[in-house]
Structure 1
């Protein structure tokens, strides 16, 4: 196993951990320490990795990245009624170049994905999402990314990669493995109209902050279809975080970002999860605690996963046909969980990204709207994307 890139969790964190209650999460996590080395990953479901890289931040001025406070806050929390085993594999330090750091992260994530272990990445700048995405190259053929962010991060793909432009590189660089990209919580005034139009043209999904705040359950079907989830802490409003972390008076509140994290955990497809743009500040305990709670809710979600998308057995689901504008829409409802899917038809005459009928997660409201003659927008976008 190629874990040579990882350095152990600091003695400061381990000493702090020794003072915690025996019931605390830190006493139950398998930790990479200088004394014991990389822990045995047998039965481990989730592995935490810190990545101390932020040189491609557009505002980089030599700031250090350090997750000591986040680990202290996370270790001190109490686990839920979980049977999910966690490991903390320590940190990837900056390589000689940012590309070296990307390579190290990609290599480690690929190993974890192949072992069916979910990496939880604590990142400096969000361009690390690019390395996370590339780790899937030889693992699955098409990848769905969900970005919890106030910005799309499309940027100018002709320019070197930065934390506000990594998506352009993902879209345009071979191998082309990106199938869908969704942004949750974007704020219009932070995004140029050209990027909003391009998101539309590519049939990508974008959910405005207001939509998400009004109905947080919108996020659930989006997460159910995601493989990789990337959370930018700049999506959280200023009143919820410490001084150095403040970005915008508007944004997700702590409860909303934790709910989104739990939806990501519950999804059977999500196989990597990253939290980025954490800014180190010695006096700031609140942001570290928020990051710890986001991780806690993700683990809680993973622990509550239910396999409900096997539609081979007729006893497991109900099937509904709805005719809308000459389209025969086929909906499925899991009897076990009550979750809904809609079928995307296979188009035999196009250069198809999908090789068979595919089920797209949707909501009960989508079925109700279809019954009233309205085609669900998620279905329309997936259908159009499939027709390229």
Structure 2
């Protein structure tokens, strides 16, 4: 793979790495340096790169510099991991924002094709559009999960920005999006029109309080995701200790790291982006972002690969009659995780061309036994019919 548009890791960081304990991440990961170039990726499972682009984030003042964040990340110790990690360096601003999008799209597409999970460190969150477009040639419908206090739907007729990229994702061809889920939205940051539009499109939206009351209930949402984006503005300002992010409400450090780990442990998530990174965030914010990345990689290391056909053959099947429906649940004897089947409808032109297993919780199964249809199953089935 040729990536001439990538700039190497800052030379000062190489001097920093020489002073680190040999067991730290910085001393172990493969680096893109000016001297050695882009590293060989044959044995790499996770590739980190940063994107110095925020021209579509009008409130950002300076182009982000990820050197201090990398310092914090390199100083961390890996867990008991069997993964090989690479840092591919930076994508600098292109001559136009579209040039930057193209570079991100090309890099993510090629990494995913080679079973390497890209971790994108970005400026403006509009870069999710480029992350999503990387799936155009992968011949699949995709599910996008966004950890954000806002829906970022915007007006698809207007130019894209860091707060209005989802509308473009929905209406621009090719149509790859099957489901969009927002975790941690705060009602006062979103218009009622947007909330109602999310409902009409059968997208999933989880309020901040709903998520934080039981973080574990979000695991099935990530298990069905292909790409995940995280807006740092979804974190409360006290956890970041930054003057730029000034919302008193949001996820705390422990909660955002738990969500990041769920994203990593999902067998289907093939790219992960952390966005709205700002210049001069400060040591506490950089430490937290470094730990968010660490927890995502920790999750990747503990994947159970239950997406395979052979693994699904071992699932335990449960059938629950409700009214005119028979809901079919499956449970993994290995992980104890649950799925519910979305039936294929042969009389309509469905987006899903086969029986699809939708991740769910044991509580969904128990509620179905009490004649309550799971809301996620209903929304997925309705999207399948549209």
Structure-2-length-normalised TM-score: 0.98
Unaligned runs of 5+ in 2: none
Aligned to 2:35, what secondary structure does the other structure show? Answer: coil
CA apart distance, 1:313: 6.7
Question: Partner residue of 1:15?
Answer: 15
Give 5+ residue unaligned stretches, structure 1.
Answer: none
Q: 1:366 aligns with which of 360, 364, 367?
A: 364
Q: Match for residue 125 of structure 1? A: 124
In structure 2, what is the Cα distance between the partners aligned to 1:152 and 1:247?
A: 18
Separation of aligned partners in 2, 1:211 and 1:133: 27
Distance across 2 between alignment mates of 1:68 and 1:314: 43
Equivalent in the alignment of 2:188: 189
Query: Matched residues in 1 for 2:150 and 2:191: separation?
Result: 10
> Do the aligned partners of residues 335 and 105 (structure 1) sit closer, same or farther apart at CA in structure 2, a change above 3 Å counting?
same
Q: Take 2:243 and 2:66, find their aligned partners in 1: how far apart are those partners?
A: 15
Q: Please state how far the C-alpha of 1:311 moved relative to its aligned partner.
A: 5.6
* 2:268 matches 1:253: no
Q: Contact 2:60–2:278 at 8 Å: present in 1 too? A: no
Partner of 1:280: 279
For 1:199 and 1:123, the matched residues in 2 are separated by 26
1:2: Cα distance to partner? 2.9
How far apart are residue 58 of structure 1 and its match?
Answer: 3.2
Residue in structure 2 matched with residue 336 of structure 1 by the alignment: 334
Identify the residue that residue 41 of structure 1 maps to in structure 2.
41
Is 1:264 equivalent to 2:263 in the alignment?
yes
Spell out the pairing of 1:26-175 with structure 2 (5 A cutoff). Answer: 26-61=26-61, 63-175=62-174
Say if 1:310 and 1:118 are closer, same or farther in 2 by CA, change over 3 A: closer
| Aligned equivalents of 1:167, 1:148: Cα separation in 2 | 13
Distance in 1 separating the partners of 2:154 and 2:280: 28
Three-state SS of the structure 2 residue aligned to 1:203 is coil
d(CA) in 1 for partners of 2:145 and 2:163?
15
- 1:242 deviates by 2.8
Residue aligned with 2:45, SS: strand
Q: Please say if residues 309 and 334 of structure 1, whose CA atoms lie closer than 8 Å, have aligned partners that are also in contact.
A: no
* Cα pair distance change 1:309/1:106, threshold 3 Å: closer
Alpha-carbon spacing, 1:373–1:243, altered in 2? closer, same or farther (3 Å): same
1:298-349 residue CA offsets vs partner (Å, 9 max, x unmatched): 0000000002244657872211000112110000000011000000011111
Judge conservation of contact 1:184–1:212 (CA < 8 Å) in 2.
Answer: yes
Q: CA-to-partner distance for each residue in 1:70-128, whole Å, 9 max, x for gaps?
A: 10000000000001100000000000100000011111111101111000000000000
1:214 aligns with 2:209: no
Show the counterpart of 2:351. Answer: 353
**How many pairs does the alignment contain?**
386
Aligned-pair CA distance for 1:43: 1.0
Root mean square deviation of aligned Cα: 1.2
Partner of 2:5: 5
Tell me the alpha carbon deviations over residues 135-161 of structure 1, each in whole angstroms, 9 at most, x when there is no partner.
110113211000000000001111100
2:374 alignment partner in structure 1: 376
Assess if the C-alpha contact under 8 Å between 1:245 and 1:278 holds in 2. Answer: no
Deviation by residue 1:335-385 (Cα, 9 ceiling, x = unmatched): 011000000011111111011110000000000000001000000000000
- Counterpart of 1:326 in structure 2 is 324
Question: Which residue of 280, 299, 303 maps to 2:301?
Answer: 303
Q: CA contact under 8 A between 2:268 and 2:307: conserved in structure 1?
A: no
What SS is found at the alignment partner of 2:243?
Answer: helix
**Distance in 1, Cα, partners of 2:311 & 2:25:** 39
Range with greater deviation from structure 2 (317-326 or 87-96): 317-326
CA distance in 1: counterparts of 2:351 and 2:313, whole angstroms: 30
